[in-house]
C-alpha cells in the first residue's frame, strides 16, 4: 500500500514537472491555481512567458500632446552625408531631381568613396547629370593593397591630386582606415602613419574637405548578448560586430584619429556620425574644443542624440557653427522627415526609424526644437561655408 502511494506521488510529480517544463502549460497551471483563489481574472488568458525580441514591437499607448511631423524642412538643406551608390551599383535613381526637391535639398553631397581615379570620377559625373550633386571621392587604397611600392602614400597622393585638379571638393574615408586596412607586413595601417603625409598634403593644398567615418557606436565593440543595447541590430547584422581580439578597441581607434586631427591641423575634417560620440556629449565637446579643424555631422545618430534632448539641444546651440546636416544614403523622404521632426519640433517619444524600418535598440527619441537661426546653420550655412558655395 505504502509503495503504491509512493509510486503515485512519484508518478504525479514526474508528470507535473514534465508539464512544468513547457511555458504555455506552466502559464495555464499558474493561472488555474491563482484563479482557484480568485486572484486571476481568467484562467484562460493567453499570456506568453517569453517572446522573441525581434517580434517585440510594442504599440505605445501614450497619446502625445504635441504631434508636429513636418512635411518639409523649415529651410533649404544641404545633405552632407548622401550616397548615390552609383560608383558601385548601377545608376543614380531616375527620380533623383524630384526627390531632392521634395526634401528641399539644394545640394546633395555624394560620398562616393569607391571612386578614386580620375577616370572613375568622370564616369560618375557623366552618370549623375545633376549639377547640385557634389561627389566626394576616396583614397586609392589599391596602391596599399597591391603591395607594389613602399611609396603607397605618394601613389595615392598622385591620384588624389588629379581629382582635386578636376574640381573635386572633398574626400570620404571609411572605417576600413584604422580598423581594416593593412600594410604589406600584415600590420594594421595606423591612421597616423607618416607615409600617408603626401595624401594629407594634397588635402591641405587643394582645401579638400575630409569626411571621415571611424568606428561605430560603442555597443558594436561589446559582446553581443543580453546586455548589449543594440542586440536588435547586431542580431540582424552579426557581421557589424567588432567584438574581436583582432580589431583595435573603440578608444584606441578614436585616439588614433584624434591624434591625426591634431597632427594635420592644416586639413579640415568632418567627423561623420557625430564623430562616433553621440552617446557621450562631454567627449564630443572636448573633441570640438580641442580641434578647431573638426566638424561633426548628425547622420544616423539622431537615435542617440534624441534620447537626451535637453543636453543635445544645448550642445547643438553651443556648437552651432560646427554641425552639419546629413542622413546617410539616398534621398529618402520617409527617413529625412524624422530628422526634421527631431531638429524642429517639441514632439516626444517617437521612433527614430520609419514605419517598417529597422530598429537599433528598444528606445524612442524626443525633438530638440532648435531656434531658426541655429537650424539655418545646421541645415545649410555651415556646409555651404565648408564647401565654399555661395
Ligand atoms: Zn555613409
Domain residue ranges of the chain, discontinuous segments joined by +: 2-50, 77-386
316 C-alpha to center of ligand 1: Å?
21
Rounded distance, CA 233 to CA 364, Å? 15
315 C-alpha to center of ligand 1: Å?
23
- pTM, to two decimals: 0.91
Beta-carbon neighbours within 5 Å of ion ligand 1: 328
With a cut of 50, list the residues of the chain below it in pLDDT.
Answer: none
Instruction: Specify the CATH class of 77-386 in words.
Output: alpha beta
Q: Nearest CA to 367 among 293, 284, 299, 309?
A: 309
pLDDT in the model for residue 147:
67
Classify 283 as helix, strand or coil. Answer: helix
pLDDT in the model for residue 104:
97
57 C-alpha to center of ligand 1: Å?
27
142 C-alpha to center of ligand 1: Å?
21
172: cell is: 570620404
Rounded distance, CA 167 to CA 206, Å? 9
Instruction: Identify the residue whose cell numbers are 574581436.
Output: 244
Q: Nearest CA to 137 among 215, 214, 204, 211?
A: 211
pLDDT in the model for residue 390:
66
Question: Do residues 66 and 347 lie in contact, with contact meaning Cβ atoms separated by under 8 Å?
Answer: yes
319 C-alpha to center of ligand 1: Å?
22
146: cell is: 597591391
56 C-alpha to center of ligand 1: Å?
28
pLDDT in the model for residue 39:
79
85 C-alpha to center of ligand 1: Å?
10
Mention every residue, 6+ apart, whose C-beta is less than 8 A from residue 86.
92, 110, 112, 124, 127, 128
372 C-alpha to center of ligand 1: Å?
27
324 C-alpha to center of ligand 1: Å?
14
329 C-alpha to center of ligand 1: Å?
6
297 C-alpha to center of ligand 1: Å?
11
Q: Give per-residue pLDDT as tens, 100-129.
A: 999 999 999 999 999 999 999 999 999 898
10 C-alpha to center of ligand 1: Å?
64
336 C-alpha to center of ligand 1: Å?
14
Q: Nearest CA to 191 among 288, 296, 262?
A: 262
299 C-alpha to center of ligand 1: Å?
8
Q: Nearest CA to 326 among 347, 302, 356, 305?
A: 302
Edge-first strand order for the sheet with 77-82 is: 77-82, 105-111, 133-136
Mention every residue, 6+ apart, whose C-beta is less than 8 A from residue 103.
72, 73, 77, 79, 331, 333, 336
312 C-alpha to center of ligand 1: Å?
22
Q: How far apart, in Å, do the first and last CA atoms of the chain sit?
A: 100
276: cell is: 562616433
321 C-alpha to center of ligand 1: Å?
22
Instruction: Identify the residue whose cell numbers are 547640385.
Output: 132
310 C-alpha to center of ligand 1: Å?
27
224 C-alpha to center of ligand 1: Å?
23
112 C-alpha to center of ligand 1: Å?
9
Amino acid at each position: 500500500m505504502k509503495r503504491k502511494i509512493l509510486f503515485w506521488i512519484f508518478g504525479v510529480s514526474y508528470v507535473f514537472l514534465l508539464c512544468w517544463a513547457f511555458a504555455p502549460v506552466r502559464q495555464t497551471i499558474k493561472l488555474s491555481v491563482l484563479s482557484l483563489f480568485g486572484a486571476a481574472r481568467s484562467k484562460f488568458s493567453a499570456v506568453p512567458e517569453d517572446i522573441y525580441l525581434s517580434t517585440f514591437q510594442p504599440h505605445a499607448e501614450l497619446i502625445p500632446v504635441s504631434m508636429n511631423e513636418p512635411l518639409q524642412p523649415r529651410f533649404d538643406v544641404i545633405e552632407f552625408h548622401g550616397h548615390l551608390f552609383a560608383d558601385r551599383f548601377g545608376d543614380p535613381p531616375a527620380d533623383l531631381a524630384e526627390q531632392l526637391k521634395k526634401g528641399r535639398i539644394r545640394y546633395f553631397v555624394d560620398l562616393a568613396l569607391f571612386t578614386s581615379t580620375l577616370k572613375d570620377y568622370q564616369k560618375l559625373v557623366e552618370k549623375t547629370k545633376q549639377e547640385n550633386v557634389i561627389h566626394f571621392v576616396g583614397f586609392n587604397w589599391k596602391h596599399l593593397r597591391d603591395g607594389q611600392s613602399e611609396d603607397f602614400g605618394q601613389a595615392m597622393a598622385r591620384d588624389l591630386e588629379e581629382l582635386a585638379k578636376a574640381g573635386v571638393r572633398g574626400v570620404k574615408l571609411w572605417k576600413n582606415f584604422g580598423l581594416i586596412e593593412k600594410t604589406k607586413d600584415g600590420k594594421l595601417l595606423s591612421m597616423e602613419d607618416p607615409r600617408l603625409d603626401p595624401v594629407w598634403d594634397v588635402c591641405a593644398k587643394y582645401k579638400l574637405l575630409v569626411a571621415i567615418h571611424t568606428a561605430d557606436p560603442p555597443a558594436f565593440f561589446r559582446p553581443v548578448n543580453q546586455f548589449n543595447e543594440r542586440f536588435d541590430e547586431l542580431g540582424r547584422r552579426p557581421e557589424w560586430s567588432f567584438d574581436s581580439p583582432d580589431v583595435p578597441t573603440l578608444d584606441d581607434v578614436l585616439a588614433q584619429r584624434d591624434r591625426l586631427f591634431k597632427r594635420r591641423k592644416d586639413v579640415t575634417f568632418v567627423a561623420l556620425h557625430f564623430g562616433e560620440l553621440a552617446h557621450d556629449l562631454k567627449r564630443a565637446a572636448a573633441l570640438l574644443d580641442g580641434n578647431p579643424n573638426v566638424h561633426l555631422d548628425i547622420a544616423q545618430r539622431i537615435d542617440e542624440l534624441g534620447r537626451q534632448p535637453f543636453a543635445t539641444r544645448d550642445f547643438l546651440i553651443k556648437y552651432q557653427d560646427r554641425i552639419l546636416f546629413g542622413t546617410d544614403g539616398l534621398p529618402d523622404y520617409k527617413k529625412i522627415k524624422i530628422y526634421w521632426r527631431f531638429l524642429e519640433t517639441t514632439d516626444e517619444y517617437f521612433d527614430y526609424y520609419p514605419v517598417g524600418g529597422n530598429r537599433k535598440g528598444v528606445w524612442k527619441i524626443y525633438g530638440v526644437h532648435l531656434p531658426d537661426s541655429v537650424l539655418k546653420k545646421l541645415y545649410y550655412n555651415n556646409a555651404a561655408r565648408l564647401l565654399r558655395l555661395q
